Structure 1
C-alpha cells in the first residue's frame, strides 16, 4: 500500500478575504464604508442612485432597481408583471437550478412548472440549461411567464426562449443571479426585457451581504418595481401598492460601485482558468466537462464537471487539499419545500435527478494563482485516473 502524501498546497473553494486582498481592493472598500458611515444617509441615497445608473449602463439597459436580495429581485419582477393574481398561475422554470428560482414563483402565489435540460450523456453536450425545445410541451393555459436561468454563468438560449414566448404572448424574466457580464450573441445578459441579479458575496459581482437588482428598459416596469421595494410608496405615508421592504442599502451600493469597474477583468481571469481546466482535463475518463455554446461568452461563476463517480472524485480531491462543492445535490422537486406538492411527477424529471447525482464544482475565481490552478489540475487528473477501473 502506498503511503498517502500530504498535499503541498491547499486550495479552498472560495474565500472572500483572499479575493479582496489578492485583488488589492480592501482599502477602497474600507474607504467606501467609512464615507457612507460619515454621510448620515443610509437608504435610498446617492450611493444607490449612482450604482443603479452604472449597473444599468453596464448591462445595456435603461433602468436598474436595486433590492434586498436576488430572490426579491425575481419575485418582485413577477409581482410587477401580475403573476400570481390569477388562480393556478404557472411560471416555466428549469428543473435544474438553485431553489431560489422556484421560491420566487411560489412567493407570488404561482406554481413552478419545471422544464428539463438536455439529456446528460455524451461529452460536450450542454446538459445544465433549460432546453427551449421542451417549452412547448410544458405550456398550459395557466402559463404566465418563462424564467430561464443563466446557470453557472453560461447564458441560456434567449433567442429561442424569446421566440417561444413571443408566439404565446408571455414575458421572459431572466434569472441572471450567476451571470454578471455574460454575453449571448454579443449582447450582455440583462439587455433584453427584464433580468434579476443577485449580489450575494460569492457572486462574480458580490456585496458584503445580501443584495439584488432588476435591470430593464421598460420604464413602467421599473417604476412599479421601485414602488414594490419601498412599501408600495413613492411619497412618505402614501401607499399605492401592497409593497415590501426590500432596498439595497447605501453601504452595499458603495461597495458594489468599487467592484463594478473591475468585473470584466475578473471575468476574464475566470475565463482563463476555465480554459486551462478544459484543456488539461479533456482526455480524462469518467468525467464530462462543461460545454460552451458557440454563441455564448460565459463568465464561469462555477466550473461544473459531471461524473457518475462524483462522490469518489470529491473525496480524492479533498485528500489532495482541493475543496469542491456540489451545485446542487438535491433536485428542487425532491426538496422538503416541494416534495409534498410536486408540480410534476418525480419520474418526469430524470435529467435533473441525474445531474444532482453527478455534478461537482471545481474552485474558480479571479483570486486563484497559477499555482493553485495547477494544483487543482494535477489533483483532478490523479483522482480521475483512479476512476478507470470503476467504469
Structure 2
C-alpha cells in the first residue's frame, strides 16, 4: 500500500502490532535465527511440481519479513529498529547459509547445493517431489541476496537457468518429465521467477517461460480453455478432464502474479519512490528466439493508473532491438528512463531541463541509455541502430 500510495499512515498505525508479531517469531524460533517449527503449519511452495522443503521456505520468508521491517523502519525514521532489523537480517542470512547451503570450489568445478530440508509431514503431498536446487530455492537465494560472494551468485544463476531451459535434465529427476523452457514453481516461486531472471540479465528466459504452452505454464491454461487463473497448473486439460478435486479452484490469483512482471519489466512501469512520485521506466523487449508455435513479442502498449494520474508506456521492437518508445509521465512527478539502445547517438530538440541524457549505464545487468525527465509525453525513435531521436 505504501509503495503505491506513498501513505506512511498504514505503517505508523500498524507498527506496534508488526513489532509484536516479530517478537513472537523470535520467541518461537526452532533455533537461533531459524524460523519457527513448521510441523503443523507449513504450506511451503504450494502445488509446485518440483518441491522445496518447508523449513527452507520458512527461513527464506523469515528473512524476507525482517528485511521488510528494516525498510519500513527507515521509511518512518525509526533508526533504532532499522539497525536492529538490519543486524538481525544479517544473522538470518548467515544461519541460512550454514544450515542449508554447501558450496565447493576448485580449479575445474563449482558445486552449489541448497539442501532439501525436512519438509512437513502435514502438507508433504502438496508441494511436489522434493529436490535439492529447486527453481524456487534458487530464486529466493538470489532475491534475498543470501550468497556470500559473486561466485555463488553466478553459480546460482547458472543452475537456475539450466533448470528452466531443461535441455539435459537428470533422467531420474522431476524435470525429466517436462518440456524445455518450463517452470516448476508453486505459489512461493511464481511471483519472483520472472523478476529475478530479468534482474539477473536473463529477460529472454522470462519471456521463454511466458510463451511456453506445455504444462506447467500460463498459456497451457489458455490453450485448455481457461478464462481465469487456476489454483493448479494442471487443474484441467481437454485430454484428461478435471484434476484433483480436493482443492482445485478455477479462480485463484496466485499464478497471476506474472502480471506484476509484465507491468514492471515488459511494459517497464515501476515505482521509483513512494506513490509513484518518482517513476522508473525500464521497458524490456523480448530478445529471445522462437522455439514453439508462439511468436515472440514485438510490441507492448499499456497504461497504469497511479495516484498522480496515468503513466503510459509503449514500445515496438524488431529482432529483439528497440525501434520506438513512447511514454507519458503525469503531472507533479519525475522519471528515470532506461532504454536498451546502447551505442546510439542521442539527438533531441527537447530542452535539457525537460529531459536530460545522463549516459550509458548498467541496469538489470544490461547496458542501457539513462535519461531523467519531468512530466510530459515523450517519443523515442531508433534509426539504423545508430541514432536515438527524442521527439
TM-score calculated relative to the size of structure 2:
0.31
Flag the structure with more relative contact order, 1 or 2, with Cα contacts below 8 A and sequence separation at least 6.
1
TM-score calculated relative to the size of structure 1:
0.31
**Higher relative helix content:** 1
